[in-house]
Structure formats: C-alpha cells, structure tokens
Amino acid sequence: MIRTIATKPYDDQKPGTSGLRKKVPVFQQEHYAENFIQSIFNSLEGFQGRALVIGGDGRFYNREVIDKAIRMAAANGFGKVIVGKGGILSTPAASNIIRKYKAFGGIVLSASHNPGGPHEDFGIKYNIGNGGPAPEKITDAIFTNSKTIAEFRIADAAAPDIDTIGEGEVAGMKVSVIDPVADYAELMERLFDFDAIGAMFKGGFRMAFDAMHAVTGPYAKEILENRLGAPKGTARNFVPLEDFGGHHPDPNLVHAKHLYDEMMRPDAPDFGAASDGDGDRNLIIGKGIFVTPSDSLAVLAANAHLAPGYKAGLKGIARSMPTSGAADRVAEKLGIGMYETPTGWKFFGNLLDAGMATICGEESAGTGSDHVREKDGLWAVLLWLNILAVRKESAKAIVEKHWAQYGRNYYSRHDYEEVETERANGLVEELRAKLSTLAGTEARGMKIAAADDFAYHDPVDGSVSKNQGIRILFEGGSRVVLRLSGTGTSGATLRLYVERYEPDPARHGLDTQAALADLIAAADDIAGIKRHTGRDKPTVIT
C-alpha cells in the first residue's frame, strides 16, 4: 500500500559540494531523510518506470535510509531499484552501475571522508543518469522543494531483504540486489593491463593498500589480491565498519600518517595507497616519497597512454581551480585542452560527457577519468600500478623525472576548521571588498599580478558559477587561493591553498612548507587570517 504522509519542511536542506551532509542526529529527526529524498524526487521528471540505483559507504544509518529510499522510490513510481548487497556501493561503483544499467539516476549515501557513527556524519547525494553528481540546476531545485515540502510518499511494506543477491519486489517495484564489486572489477580489467600488473606482483613487488575500514575494502581485496595476485595482507583494514573503527576515513598525511611513516622507512613496501570512506579519494605514497594529488594528476596524465584504456591518448585534462598547475604543463606538452573548474566533481561532468576531457583531478585527493562520472580512488591506484609495471621504475624516480622535465609545483593546503561562521564570512567579505585594489601592490616583496573571485563559464552548457574562490596571483606563477568549504557539518572551514612554481631542478629538493613560507605569510598579510579566525595556525596541513 502507498501512503502519503504529511510533513513539515526543514530549512537547512541545502546540498553542498557533495550533497546534503549533516550529523546523524540531524538526519534522525522526524521525516528529515524522507523530506530530502522526496525533495529529490520532486525535482526530477520522467523517471516513472525507470531504474534508480541506491547504495552507500556502509556508515552508521546507511541501512535505515536505504530502507526508506527503496520504499519511497516504489511509492513515487520508479520501476526498479538496483541496490548493492548489504547496502554497499562505493561512489565510483555506483556511478558505474548507473551508467552500465542505464538507470535514471542514483542515490548515494555517504559523508565521504568524514567520520561515521551515531554522533558523526551522514550524507545523501543524488546522481543523474550520466552517473555523476547532480548539477547545480537540480541541487538548487532540491533545496527549493525542501523549503515548501508538505508531504512525502512511501510504500507501507516490510523492509526489503538487501542481504541476498537476487530479484525481489516492493509494492510492485522490482528490487535487484547486486554484487557491489563485480561490475566495477570488470571495468577495471578492461582499462588496465592486469597481466602486466600481475607479473609485477609475481616478481616480488610489494604494496600496502589501506582501506581505512571503509568501503573500498571488499573492492581492494577482490581486485588486488584475488585478481592481480598480490600477496594476502596487501589490502589492510578491509572490513567496512559503521564507524570506520573510530577513525576518520580520510586518506591524508594526518589520518593515514601510519602509512606515510611506514613508506618512509628503508624496509618500506614499493608502493603505498589508501582510499576514503566512500572510495572516491586516493592517497599515493611511493617508497620514500609522498605524491601530492596535484602532482599525481600530472604524472597520471603524462603516462596514461601506457594503460590499455587510454592508449589512444587523452582528449583533454580538467582540474579544479585550487589544484596546482602541474597538469597544465602536461596538457601544454601534449597539445590538448586544459580546463579549470570550480571545486567539486560535478563541474567535470559536462566536459567528460562532451568528450573534451579524459582525465580530471582535484587537489583534495580526487582523480578520475571518463570511465565513470565520479572521482575514483582505486582507479587512480590501478593506473599508478599499470604505469609502474610498464616503466619498471620506482614511483620516486617517476615523480622526480617528471619534475625535471616540467618543473615542480610546490603545493600545500592549510585548513582552518570549525571557525565561527560569522568570522569566516567576515574574512571573505573584507577580502572581496579590496580585491580590485591588490594588483600591482606587493606582499613580502612579491608583486601581485592579479586578484579575483573565480567565476566559471561552463563551455558546454553556458552556465556561470560565481564566487568560487579568491585567487591572488603573483608574478612568476606563484599564487594563493582562499575559499570556504562546502562540505563541512559544523561551523565554517577556511581553506588556504598555496602554490609556487620552481623550474630549476637544483631547487626541487626543498621542504614544502619552507618553500612556501613567504607565500603563507603574504596570504595572512593580505587576508588577515589570524586576525579573523583568532587562530595562530591551521588545524590541518596537507
């Protein structure tokens, strides 16, 4: 039986950079999740009888919301729901399933790299039929709908069994429970040379992959150990836990410090990697070298043709604005297009769909290609493995040769987390007000060439996205960027991105923070970071 239930709107259901993210107790409020899911459906047209993909990263509250989403999809007229067994689908795997089975769209339940548990984070994101995050037109409509919602529709049925692979039914709608890993593993086998990578493992190559008790565990176990023959134990922390074992499933130098420390030891494995809560981010650490995500994008782009899926070459490269310009130099050398987009994977969708870009990346440990419409952690790891297997050199040698050829972009991000919203907004407003006066002035002896608030003109659909981050460009190619996070769940997070280009190989061995010290100080002089935030140092440096 289908029921229509009266509800009252909440005023805080505005999707951010990656969907709606809130603390679990917020989602547990009466009808909170139902309101948001109904607002998604109310923003869509033409889905009657079509398929909807549902899955999540397995965090606390995943199962409850999956149950509601399935029964609401049935009540709203979807013809079928495709759900990963146990409610599990990594974000890139969900994107692949939407595309492969030509679903109308998908609901992905995750708060990415944020911690999970009864008092931690949860999230709901809608992806469209191309497999990618909904564009702003749709997320804006969802928010508008959420502000006036008066009722939602739900099937009054028993919770469907999502733990057995096979076909079922809820209120006349089909429910197909699938193996979350199989389709994804098959896609990876098509893109990469599994024989070459397998031979490398057979030859004694050792790797540490840390799944951080999050969703990529089962994927890594199947692909690295079962299909590529890597030794047992290559995939670590591979059982997804509702609270990620109490850790942040965030593959950076803070939360995966143990992996970094191990990779710097003389007896380190040849290659180290990790992925985040929902499997779309990656951390790459070669023996003796941390590879920044911006450098990783550039190295992957320069070497992608060594993998079967990219042997025809790249059509173009896209990166988010705060990501370093390292990939730009690769695009220039290859003679292909380079696109600079706002932060957030959704901005890559049009470029990938239009065949203008093949590889995309963000400084925040996101790399991916046109094989799906999300960033993809394991994909990046496998492309690295493919390159290592073909070049038969260490990751360190490959990166250092890359710098020697293209120059090095020293790069770091400083995050000021949980700043009072008013103080963070005050900083941004004050900075915006003086942007037009900055060009031509000096900071710490460096001349400012230009300053603006980044606006993106989508070359495919003509849409314009304004206020996407403040850029201060110095003469010689260095820059600092400031923006407020769109994914936080408490207070505001100020991100400061700092980049310095160094062409001279004799100066490629500097400590990153030391190499950027002048720019960091200049950013504080210009923006008054300490004054506004009341902090004397960032919370996290990556």
Interface with ligand G1P by CB under 6 A: which range of 84-92, 284-292, 338-346, 380-388? 338-346
Q: What angle do CA 13, 138, 49 make, to 5 degrees?
A: 105
Cα–Cα distance for residue pair 96/162, rounded to 1 Å: 19
Cα–Cα distance, 339 to 486 (Å, whole number)? 21
Closer residue to Zn ion (CB): 89 or 473:
89
Of the candidate residues 38, 114, 127, 320, the single one contacting ligand G1P (CB under 6 A): 320
Query: What pairs with residue 275 in β-bridges?
Result: 282
- Select from 18, 43, 324, 341 the one that contacts ligand G1P (CB under 6 A): 18
C-beta nearest to Zn ion: residue: 112
Closer CB to ligand G1P, 145 or 341, in the complex = 341
* Span interacting with ligand G1P, options 263-271, 291-299, 351-359, 361-369, rule CB under 6 A: 361-369
Q: Should residue 112 be labelled a site residue for ligand G1P when binding is judged by CB under 6 A?
A: yes
CB of 483 to ligand G1P, least distance (A): 7
Taking the complex as a whole, the smallest distance from the CB of residue 245 to ligand G1P amounts, in Å, to 21
Q: How far is the CB of 354 from ligand G1P (least distance, A)?
A: 20
455 or 521: whose CB is closer to ligand G1P?
Answer: 455
Q: Is 491 in the site for ligand G1P (CB under 6 A)?
A: no
Q: Walk across the sheet containing 316-320 and list its strands.
A: 337-341, 316-320, 359-362, 366-369
Closest contact distance (angstroms) between CB of 346 and ligand G1P is 8
- From the list 115, 251, 344, 538, which residue makes contact with ligand G1P (rule: CB under 6 A)? 344
Contact 292, 411 (CB under 8 A): yes
Chain residue at closest Cβ approach to ligand G1P: 485
What is the smallest separation between the CB atom of 363 and ligand G1P, expressed in angstroms?
Answer: 7
| Residue 389: CA count within 13 A, CB half-sphere | 26
Distance of CA 161 to the CA centre of its chain: 30
Active site residue 112: yes
Tell me if 232 sits within 8 A of 267, measured CB to CB: no
**Could you list the residues that contact Zn ion (CB under 5 A)?**
112, 276, 278, 280-281
User: Quick check: 329 and 406 in contact, CB under 8 A?
Assistant: yes
Closer by beta carbon to ligand G1P, 227 or else 432: 432
- Going from the C-alpha of 442 to that of each of 393, 447, 473, 476, 524, the distances in angstroms are 43, 4, 11, 13, 13
Buried b (16+ CB within 10 A) or exposed e, 302-317: bbbbbbebbeeebbbb
**Residue 389 phi/psi, 5° resolution?**
-65, -35
Q: How far is the CB of 238 from ligand G1P (least distance, A)?
A: 22
- Return the one option of ligand G1P, Zn ion, none that residue 324 interacts with (CB less than 5 to 8 A, by type): none
Residue 350 interacting entry, from ligand G1P, Zn ion, none, C-beta within 5 to 8 Å by type: none
Nearer CB in complex with ligand G1P: 309/377: 377
Q: Are 130 and 349 in contact (CB under 8 A)?
A: yes
Minimum distance, C-beta of residue 201 to Zn ion, in the bound complex (Å) = 27
Contacts (CB under 6 A) with ligand G1P, residues 172-211: none
Using CB under 6 A, which of 10, 13, 17, 379 touches ligand G1P?
Answer: 17
Cα–Cα distance, 37 to 108 (Å, whole number): 11
Residue 276 interacts, among ligand G1P, Zn ion, none and using kind-specific CB cut-offs from 5 to 8 Å, with Zn ion
Which residue among the candidates 18, 39, 90, 112 is catalytic per the annotation? 112
Are 426 and 482 spatial neighbours (Cβ–Cβ below 8 Å)?
no
> Counting contacts by CB under 6 A, is residue 486 touching ligand G1P?
yes
Q: Are 411 and 324 in contact (CB under 8 A)?
A: yes
Contacts of 104 (CB under 8 A, 6+ apart): 44, 46, 47, 50, 51, 52, 78, 129
Are the beta carbons of 360 and 348 closer than 8 angstroms? yes
Instruction: Please report, as ranges, the residues that interact with ligand G1P according to CB under 6 A.
Output: 17-18, 112, 320, 343-345, 362, 364, 366, 485-487, 495
Mind telling me the catalytic residues? Answer: 112
